[in-house]
Amino acid sequence: MAMSRHVSGWLQAAPLTVVLGGFLIAPIIMIVVVSFWGATEYSIYPAFQFDNYSYLFGSAVVWKVFLATFKYALITWVFTLAIGFTVAYFLAFHVRSQAMQTALFLLCTIPFWTSNIIRMISWIPFLGRNGIANSALISWGVVDQPVEWLLYSDFSVILAFVHLYTLFMVVPIFNTMMRIDRSLIEAAVDNGASAFQTLRHVILPLTKPGIMIGTIFVVTLVMGDFITVRFMSGSQKANVGRLISNDIALLQYPSAAATSVVLLITVLMVIGILLRFVNIRKEL
């Protein structure tokens, strides 16, 4: 009986194993293999060499690009966490009607009804030199001439990132907050805790799983993105995703594969560090 159950369990898991193996594990293995190949200006050839990795770790430009990627991820995480936590807290604890909660939550998802690229480039006419933002600032007398750094700068890149990925922080935090036992909050208030003390000592610790899940979403999405940096910086800035994209455009697949492997390991290390702060599997 135990043997038949064991075999049945393997058979049930077989389709998922095949899908994961074929569409996740096999491509990653191939990328790792290609990362050791060599390349010329016109072709690539199978080999086992560390030239791609030695170039990556020995290039000051690559280090600057990785640092810029971490900078984008960190700043975006700070803003998405602040906005996401505030929105989730308002929906979970200040909107009493479940119907209103659902309506407001759906309202937050409206921008996602269009593609990321459309939502991203919609900022360009707003932030441009002759755009709505500069026109308003000049008409109000705040500035005498258009503000150049509103577009094609780190500011516009981070603004687009925050706009694109804030919902990925709102959803897990809101979901976690909705599962908090309201009697714990009532007990804290009955014991004389202020609103801030209740937030700090009750709500915030119980919201950690949602914050960690949202952080993983936002950080991985930002670090793997390349199209946002390209459009919103006017091709003046770079991140790791764009570095990989440029190598692919130049048919330098081994170099792109090596950069992808380093990026993958970096992201996995970041996720591993985040998972040490909370046991997400237990909380879910």
Q: What is the pLDDT of residue 40?
A: 80
Q: What is the pLDDT of residue 128?
A: 84
Q: What is the pLDDT of residue 119?
A: 85
Q: What is the pLDDT of residue 172?
A: 92
Q: What is the pLDDT of residue 63?
A: 92
Rounded-to-integer distance, Cα 234 and Cα 228, Å: 10
Q: What is the pLDDT of residue 223?
A: 92
Rounded-to-integer distance, Cα 267 and Cα 258, Å: 14
pLDDT beneath 50, residues of the chain: 1
Q: What is the pLDDT of residue 168?
A: 92
Q: What is the pLDDT of residue 103?
A: 86
